[in-house]
Amino acid sequence: MTHMYKQDRSRRTIDIVYVTAHVDVTQTPFCVAVDHSRSRIVVAIRGTISMQDILTDLNAEAEIIPISKPREDWLGHKGMVQAAVYIRNKLKEEGILKEAIEKSTEGMKGDEEAGFQGEGQGAYPLVLVGHSLGAGTAVILAILMREEFPDLEAFVYSPPGGLLSLSAAKYTQEFCTSVILGKDVVARIGLSQMEVLRADLLNVLTRSRETKVE
C-alpha cells in the first residue's frame, strides 16, 4: 500500500512515500517518508504487536550480519537480522528508496527556489527509527545500508538486549543513538539472560518443598 501526499511546499511538510502493514515472521511493518522540514528521508519500523512479531523476537540465536564483506565477529539477533534484510530488499527491489530520494531532490530544488538554505547538493540524508523490535531491526538495517549511505543515522527507542556482538555494537556508536526509559526490561534482557532465568526457575522448583500448584 503506497500513499503520496502532495502539499504546498511553502508549508514544508512531509511526503509519505510508502506504508505497509504486512506482517509475518521476520517481516516487520514499516513506512518511508520525506521530511522536508528537517531535510531527511525517514524509514520508521514498527515494534512488537502481533504473534508473528513475538516469534521474530524469540528467534534470538546469533547470525552473521550479511554486509558485502561479512565479518565473523559481527553477529546480530537472527530474527532481526532477517527482518532488516527483508526491509532492505523491499526498499531496493521495489524502488521505494529511489522514489524517496527523488522526492527529496525535488524538495531541495523547491527550497532553493523559495530561498531556503539546504545542507548541500544531492538528496536528503537517511534516518532510521524504530521501537523495540523495530529498534533492533533499525540498528541492523543501518549497518547493512551504511556502505551505500555513509551519512545515515539511526535513532532507536528501547532496543532489545543481546542485539549485537560487542564488535558490531562498538561500530554502531558512530551513527546510532539509543534511548532507554528508566528500568525498561526489554533493553536489558537477551537470550543468555533468559537461559539464566530458566535455570534459576527450574532450580527453585526442584528445591521447593511446596506443591507446585500452591
Respond yes or no: is residue 132 known to be catalytic: yes
> What whole-number distance in Å separates Cα of residue 115 and Cα of residue 204?
69
> What whole-number distance in Å separates Cα of residue 56 and Cα of residue 111?
42
Query: Alpha carbon of 67 to those of 72, 74, 76, 174, 204: distances in Å?
Result: 11, 9, 12, 17, 43
* CA dihedral (112, 114, 115, 120) positive or negative: negative
Helix, coil or strand: residue 91: helix
Respond yes or no: is residue 165 known to be catalytic: no
- Kindly name the residue from 39, 104, 132, 165 that is annotated as catalytic: 132
- Kindly name the residue from 24, 35, 111, 184 that is annotated as catalytic: 184
* CA dihedral (189, 195, 196, 199) positive or negative: positive
> What whole-number distance in Å separates Cα of residue 91 and Cα of residue 38?
21
DSSP code of 20?
Answer: E
> What whole-number distance in Å separates Cα of residue 143 and Cα of residue 176?
10
Which positions are catalytic? Answer: 132, 184
